[in-house]
Amino acid sequence: MDFTYVILIPLIPLAAFLLLGIFNQKIKPAVSGYIGVAGLSTSAALSFYTAYQYFFEVGKVDGVYQTFVEKTTWINFTDTLAIDMGILIDPISVMMLIVVSIISLMVHIYSRGYMKGDDGYTRFFAFLGLFSFSMFGLVLATNLFQIYIFWELVGVSSFLLIGYYYTKPSAVSAAKKAFIVTRFADLGFLIGILIISYYTGTFDFETLNNPEGSAILSWASTSFMGLSVITWALILIFIGGAGKSAMFPLHIWLPDAMEGPTPVSALIHAATMVVAGVYLVARLFPMYYFVEDGFALNIVAYVGAFSSLFAAIIAITQTDIKRVLAFSTMSQLGYMMLALGVSGYDGHEGVGYMASMFHLFTHAMFKALLFLGAGSVIHAVHSNYLKDMGGLRKYMPITNITFLIAALAISGVFPLSGFWSKDEILVAAFEHNKLIYGVGIFVAGLTAFYMFRLYFGIFWGKDTQYKHAPHESHISMTFPLMVLALISIFGGFIPFSELITADRVGFEAHINIPLAIVATVVGLTGIGLAYVFYKKENDLADRFSNAFGVFYKWTFNKFYFDEIYLFVTKNIIFNRIATPIAWFDKKFVDGTMEGIGNKTVVISKKIKGIQSGKVQDYAFGFIAGVVVLALVFIYLWTN
């Protein structure tokens, strides 16, 4: 089966980007909006077609999902080592195609309403196009280097979109922060790639992931500081993933990234780009699993678990609704990571892998929904802060309903999509690692709590008096909300375990009833608490926070991580390293060169007395010269 046409999926948005980018000034805003939407819907259509083709027509050959690769050489290193550009079709890439195209399309539509009247309208859609292109390219990558290339590209489009309001200093610094932190993580990724390329002599995923392949079998051949170099490489690559997926401690860029327009947060920082890290680990899952008995995989698990807990705690105390969602995203990403971390490989063992991808899918939907809902709210009240909201259910019913659905979904309430995926994750965790399971279940509770704190805070709670009454958003904004709401409701019934598994062989997923009950109970408890605290305006919350005192303060300030980073960059990099170097360069290196020149001049000033102008001194010099030369060459230097 020939999947070459898939190449169009990324190329169409690219075309849109170029069109809008180059003729930025010429094109009317309305037109540019249509161009963007049209392009994306084509890609989306193609993605769906591909998915259908792959999953139900040609993908499965005697029970195993095949990998289809179309590629061409991009640059040669040696006759064996080369970077290829191409497309790789396998379950997860197809799944990602769906996710990216749906969300991106929705966001495009949504933005036509949300960004209306903004003077950078065209630029915005151009950047969206660029991002979609990069993201499609990333998910379709056939080898480590290609994925790195598009990895960088999504990074830069995220930079551009966060810094979209480029006259706002906060936006600019947020964009810089996002780019530099992820870039720093990518450094690890790159070095990892270098190691892999040297020891396995290839970048190709197929070759690397082949469980019988030399890459996996010969991991033990070389070791460095007690660990196999391959393990090191995998850890480094995971650092790259952690940077993109905002895992602790590289998470700090994500909250600030909320400076970008809300649709962007929905698209990039909730649904697609941030899951790139998860996708990367899933992409290399066989290596992570087999090399050195999954040493690297355990790291993934623990980092994921900790991040999800960490983020969930912080999320409770934030008052900027987008930041709450950001931390929630981070927490959910941690969930996916830990799912991968505890996953096995073949058959039902691989439930974690499946669950992670499943959750990736569902989460993308309801988290995007949440963000878009939040966007619609912000659009209405022109503020990000809970204190300026409340009682909005009367004004914006659709937003209210859809937001509620999403909140329920993320809290894992039966039968919404979130319930299924989260349940699978907990099952996997329970089967492999009780500690992580404990964390997971606790986080589930927290999630439910802060989500409903948010929900009640926005739509119920105090009846704020608005200067000009907020109203429901334009259809172009509510339509995507509804679509996504539908998916969030029914997405859970997609038989993922049939389609997407580590070993490509589907298995029969069965609900683990007791665990499911526990999870649901915990979730409902969280919701209940939130109800008590925030349904009606009361001072319970304040009393609690006062009771917690210091802990609350720390949490509220996100455990001062920004400050630490600030200290490192400002004081260490700038003042302790860069400044001394600049000084050293001026004074010492340059000074030496200067010195040589100056010394010459000084000497020439010093010796000018020789030329005294007295003819007799000259004569003396003459004779002295003769005598000295004579003495030297007659008696001393006689060779």
Partner 1 sequence: MNFSNFLLMRQEILLLTITLLLLVSEIFISKSKKSSLVHLAIFLFGIHTAVGFFHIDECSIFGGSFQTNNLIHFFKNVLNIGVFILLLQSADWIEEKIVGENRGTEFFILLFSSLLGMYFMISAGDFLMFYIGLELSTLPIAALAAYETTKRISSEAGIKLILSAALASGVSLFGISFLYATSGSIFFHDIIEVIVSNNLTILGFILFFAGLSFKISLVPFHFWTADVYEGAPISVSSYLSVISKGAAVFILMILMFTIFKPLIHVWENLVYVVALATMFIGNLFALRQQNMKRFLAFSSIAQAGFILLGLITGTQLGTATIVYFVMIYIFSNLAAFGVVQAISLKTGKENMDDYNGLYRTNPNLSLVMMLALFSLAGIPPVAGFFGKFFLFTAAASKGYYLLVFLAVVNVTISLYYYLLVVRAMFIRKNENPIPFFKNKLYMKLGLLITVIGILALGLYSPLYDYIYELSAAFN
Partner 2 sequence: MDILTLFVIIPVLTIVALVFTKGLKQARLVSMVGSIIQLGMAINLVFAYFKERAINKEIMVFTKDYVWFEQFNIHYTIGVDGISVALLLLTAIIVLAGVFISWKIADLPKEFFISLLVLASGVYGFFISLDLFTMFVFYEIAVIPMYLLIGIWGSGPKEYSAMKLTLMLMGASAVLLVGVLGIYFNSNADGGTLTFNILEIAQVNIPFEAQKLFFPLTFVGFAVLGALFPFHTWSPDGHASAPTAVSMLHAGVLMKLGGYGIFRIAMFLLPAGAMHWSWFFIILAAIGVVYGAFGAIRQTDLKYINAYASVSHLGLVLFALLTLNKIAWNGAILQSLSHGLLTALFFALIGMIYGRTHTRDISKLGGMMKILPFIGAIYVITGLAYLGLPGFSGFVAEMNIFVGAFQNPDKFQRILTVLVVSSIVITAVYILRLVGKIMMGPLVTNDCENLPKATWYEKTGILLLLIPIIGMGVAPLWLSDMLLESIQPFIQGVL
Partner 3 sequence: MIAGISIYEILTVTSILFFIGVYGFITRKNLISILMSVELILNASVINFVVINKYLYPDILQGVYFSIFIIAVAAAETALAVSIIINLYRQIASVEVKDTEIMKY
630 interacts with, out of partner 3, partner 2, partner 1, none, CB within 5 to 8 A per kind = partner 1
Beta-bridge partner residues of 204: 143
191 binds partner 2 (CB under 8 A): yes
Binding residue for partner 2, selected from 7, 8, 58, 180, defined by CB under 8 A: 180
167 interacts with, out of partner 3, partner 1, partner 2, none, CB within 5 to 8 A per kind = partner 2
As a whole number of angstroms, the distance between CA 95 and CA 86 comes to 18
DSSP code per residue over 262-284: HHHHHIIIIISGGGHHHHHHHHT
Q: Which of residues 596-625 bind partner 2 (CB under 8 A)?
A: 597
As a whole number of angstroms, the distance between CA 431 and CA 233 comes to 28
Nearest CB to partner 1, comparing residues 28 and 599: 599
169 binds partner 2 (CB under 8 A): yes
Nearest CB to partner 2, comparing residues 465 and 592: 592
3-state secondary structure of 49: helix
As a whole number of angstroms, the distance between CA 311 and CA 246 comes to 10
**Least distance in Å: CB of 614 to partner 3?**
6
3-state secondary structure of 309: helix
SS percent in the chain: helix, strand, coil, step 5? 75, 5, 20
Binding residue for partner 2, selected from 30, 566, 573, 631, defined by CB under 8 A: 573
170 interacts with, out of partner 2, partner 3, partner 1, none, CB within 5 to 8 A per kind = none
Q: For the window 571-600, what string marks contact with partner 1 as x by the rule CB under 8 A?
A: -----------------------------x
167 binds partner 2 (CB under 8 A): yes
149 interacts with, out of partner 3, partner 1, partner 2, none, CB within 5 to 8 A per kind = partner 2
CB 421 within 8 A of CB 332: no
3-state secondary structure of 249: coil
As a whole number of angstroms, the distance between CA 452 and CA 458 comes to 9
Stretch binding partner 2 (CB under 8 A), from 274-282, 306-314, 323-331, 573-581:
573-581
**Least distance in Å: CB of 628 to partner 1?**
8
As a whole number of angstroms, the distance between CA 159 and CA 178 comes to 7
CB count, 10 Å around CB of 348? Answer: 16
Binding residue for partner 1, selected from 25, 80, 592, 639, defined by CB under 8 A: 639
- Residue 443 has which token pair? 């986080």
Nearest CB to partner 2, comparing residues 167 and 639: 167
Identify whether 211 is preceded by a cis peptide bond (ω within 30 of 0). Answer: no
Stretch binding partner 1 (CB under 8 A), from 170-178, 318-326, 394-402, 606-614:
606-614
629 interacts with, out of partner 1, partner 2, partner 3, none, CB within 5 to 8 A per kind = partner 1
Q: For the window 587-626, what string marks contact with partner 3 as x by the rule CB under 8 A?
A: ---------------------xx-xxxxxx--xx--x---
607 interacts with, out of partner 3, partner 1, partner 2, none, CB within 5 to 8 A per kind = partner 1
Q: Which of residues 50-79 bind partner 2 (CB under 8 A)?
A: 73-78
- Residue 536 has which token pair? 């009606």
As a whole number of angstroms, the distance between CA 501 and CA 41 comes to 28
DSSP code per residue over 97-127: HHHHHHHHHHHHHHHHHHTTT-TTHHHHHHH
**Least distance in Å: CB of 179 to partner 2?**
6
Q: At what angle do helices 91-114 and 29-52 cross, to 10 degrees?
A: 160
CB 222 within 8 A of CB 228: yes
CB count, 10 Å around CB of 438? Answer: 14
The candidate with the shortest Cα–Cα distance to 471, out of 395, 403, 397, is 395
Q: Can you list the alpha helix ranges (DSSP code H) found in 411-559?
A: 417-432, 434-459, 475-490, 496-499, 513-534, 540-548, 550-556
As a whole number of angstroms, the distance between CA 363 and CA 357 comes to 10
175 binds partner 2 (CB under 8 A): yes
**Least distance in Å: CB of 601 to partner 3?**
14
Nearest CB to partner 2, comparing residues 261 and 491: 261
**Least distance in Å: CB of 73 to partner 2?**
6
Interface residues with partner 3 (CB under 8 A) are: 608-609, 611-616, 619-620, 623
Interface residues with partner 2 (CB under 8 A) are: 24-25, 73-78, 81, 83, 145, 148-150, 152-153, 156, 163, 166-167, 169, 172-173, 175-176, 179-180, 183-184, 187, 190-191, 194-195, 197-198, 569, 573-574, 577-579, 581-582, 585, 589-590, 592-593, 597
Interface residues with partner 1 (CB under 8 A) are: 600-601, 603-605, 607-608, 610-611, 613, 615, 617-619, 621-626, 629-630, 632-634, 637-639
